[in-house]
Amino acid sequence: MREPVKQTPGTDPTQPVVEAEDVHKYFGSLHVLRGVGMEVQRGEVIVLIGPSGSGKSTLLRCLNHLEKLDRGRILVNGHPMGYREVNGRRVELREREVAKQRRDVGMVFQQFNLFPHLTALENITAGPIHVLQRKKEEAEAQARQLLEMVGLPFKAHAYPAQLSGGQQQRIAIARALAMNPTLMLFDEPTSALDPEMITEVLDVMLKLSDQGMTMIVVTHEMGFAKAAADRIIFMDEGRLVEEAPATQFFANPRHERTRQFLSKILH
């Protein structure tokens, strides 16, 4: 099995994994994130819900600097993501340094985005070999453990096109885990799947949360939210409108928007 969730050397376990303050993001004139603030503690599982277009994907993509911020800041494990602070001003990091920071943050996409020219095993070892400069044998040994963990030990040499959607997504999770991230981001990981494949992916995610992985999950699978989420956050029009522990969130939503949204997705 996987080694326990890694802690960045020199950081204390009470250091939040994510600290976001007043995050703003524009696409042209479209104001997509309108002052988002959040804190995620080590080992927490956050489920992020909200209507389509509310900015959930954009927020996740800001957390690993796939998108630049226009205002505010995001710290991951205490370090400003994508930026360096010089005399109180932020300067964007060079591409190589951003790449280094991203090693700590795994991401799983709605469309899987497996590398189609590589086998399942090669997808999983791509990061360790080409980013962490690990030896091939070492990377493959770890990849086989991960294949075991996601329940696909016999698919090492299959190409993505030969795998079902659910299998592809489980390989994608293994690929992200191979970097030993401290934080895992999931952007609607089951939305592109046929219903019968959703559970196999959610099961892997549940297993991961049991192992203490820090996770931010955008999903409308409320079963998963109830089972795994420490907190549920409702996002609407670029703001975090409401957050609560799972039980409380469903039983007793405070805002009208949240209630409306829940009534739509719970039936």
Partner 1 sequence: MPGWDWNAFGRYLISGYLLEGAWTTIWLSVVVMVLGLLLGLVAAIMNMSKSPVLQGIAKFYLWIMRGTPLLVQLIIIYTGLPQIGIRLNVVQSALLGLSLNEGAYLSEIIRAGILSVPKGQFDAARALGMDSSTLMRVIVLPQAARVMIPPLGNNFNGLLKTTSITSVISMEELLRRGQMLIQVEFRVLEIFVVAALYYLVMITLWGMVQRRLEAHYGRSVAPATTTERRSTVAPDSGNGEGAATAVERREMEHDLR
Using CB under 6 A as the criterion, which residues of the chain lie in contact with ligand ADP when the complex forms?
Answer: 27, 30, 32, 50, 52-58
Q: What x/- string results for residues 121 through 150 when contact with partner 1 is judged by CB under 8 A?
A: -----xx--xx-------------------
Packed helices 136-149 and 165-177: angle between N→C axes, nearest 10 degrees: 130
Q: Which of 54, 57, 182, 209 binds Mg ion (CB under 5 A)?
A: 57
| 51 contact partners, CB below 8 Å, separation of at least 6 | 236, 261
Cα angle at 63 between 103 and 127, to 5 degrees? 20
Q: State the minimum distance, in angstroms, from the CB of residue 51 to Mg ion.
A: 10
Q: Which CB atom, from 142 or from 258, has the smaller least distance to partner 1?
A: 142
* Residue 69 touching partner 1 (CB under 8 A): no
Q: State the minimum distance, in angstroms, from the CB of residue 218 to ligand ADP.
A: 7
Q: Which CB atom, from 33 or from 124, has the smaller least distance to partner 1?
A: 124
Q: State the minimum distance, in angstroms, from the CB of residue 56 to Mg ion.
A: 5
Stretch of residues binding Mg ion (CB under 5 A), selected from 42-50, 54-62, 125-133, 254-262: 54-62
Helices (H), 131-255: 136-149, 165-177, 195-210, 222-228, 246-251
Transcribe 61-92 into DSSP letters.
HHHTTSS--SEEEEEETTEETTEEEETTEEEE
Q: Which CB atom, from 50 or from 80, has the smaller least distance to ligand ADP?
A: 50
Q: Which of 36, 179, 201, 225 binds partner 1 (CB under 8 A)?
A: 179
In whole angstroms, give the CA distance from residue 18 to residue 66.
Answer: 16
In whole angstroms, give the CA distance from residue 126 to residue 84.
Answer: 28
The strand pairing partners of 69, in sequence order, are none
Handedness of CA 202, 203, 204, 210 (dihedral sign): positive
Interacting residues toward partner 1 by CB under 8 A: 61, 64, 66, 95-96, 99-103, 105-107, 109, 111-117, 126-127, 130-131, 159-162, 165, 168, 172, 175-176, 179, 192
